[in-house]
Amino acid sequence: MDLTSYAAAAIGFAPPLAFMLWTLQRYTYPKAERPYFSDPRLFGMFAVGIVIGAVLYLVSILFSFEYAIVGFLLEESIKLMIMNMPRFQRRADTPFYAFGLGAGMASALAYGVVNRALAQTGFEALAIVVMVAYSIMLAMLQISTGTTIGMGVARGTPWPFFGQAVVVHLAFVLMLAPSASSFVDSGTLATLLFIVAFIFVAVYYHYVHNKMMPLYVKEALSRLTDVKPKKAKKVPKSKD
């Protein structure tokens, strides 16, 4: 790997990992006496997301026009397909693994985009700032839509949450459309929409992880406490 690839890896992987550590700390030790999720499974889903993101980036290069039109739907559909597997259905910890999946996808997709952009622009200060901002945006988007889908799967009603994720992703894509050819050398309108897109995904990330997720966790805990333990069957006395 050359210096550009190392820089792209740092820019692409740092935001998703930072969001993972920052956002999920309230749900695991030491802030939570009993963790709400399994660390190995979380990072396992993160690794799965990296592989999927790398494949999707390759597809976006080979079929750039088609991917620009339906890529957002493909990405969210893959999340739904994976998280709706029987092993994740109606499980209280599913949103956390969907978080890991989205973080992994964001890392690989951002790495590909940033690596390609830096190879063209070099290490210009403006290019690096824009790429860092893009990586942060992509991390917030992929993590939030993945978590949204995960909450739907855990509740047993995935389609409304999938629809919400698709609409949010589509809005993000449309806002970045004017700057799709070049994030750095774009016009005033494209720059303004880039800033609006950043604010949009930041607000949605806050909404998902500070409004939706705490409410979901509260509901999940209430369901667990409402389940009454079955009475143990009496063992018949043995005749002596």
Q: Is 30 among the domain residues?
A: yes
Say if CB 83 and CB 150 are below 8 A apart.
yes
**Does residue 238 form part of some domain?**
no
In-domain check, residue 216: yes
For residue 239, the model assigns a pLDDT of 52
pLDDT at position 184 is 61
Per-residue model confidence (pLDDT) at position 188: 84
User: What pLDDT score does 181 carry?
Assistant: 65
pLDDT for 64:
92
The answer to whether residue 115 sits within a structural domain is yes
Q: Which of 214, 78, 77 is nearest to 151 (CA)?
A: 214
Percent of the chain with pLDDT over 90: 77
pLDDT reported for residue 240 = 46
> Residue 237: inside a domain, yes or no?
no
Cα dihedral value 81, 39, 136, 26, nearest 10: 110
Residues contacting 183, CB < 8 A, separation 6+: 117, 130, 131, 134, 194
Range of the domain at 36: 3-226
- pLDDT for position 70: 96
Domains of the chain: total: 1
Residue 236 lies in a domain: no
* Low-confidence residues in the chain, pLDDT < 50: 232-235, 238, 240
Closest of 80, 53, 200 to residue 152, by C-alpha: 80
Establish if 195 belongs to a structural domain.
yes
Is residue 173 a part of any domain in this protein?
yes
Confidence at residue 232, expressed as pLDDT on a 0 to 100 scale: 45
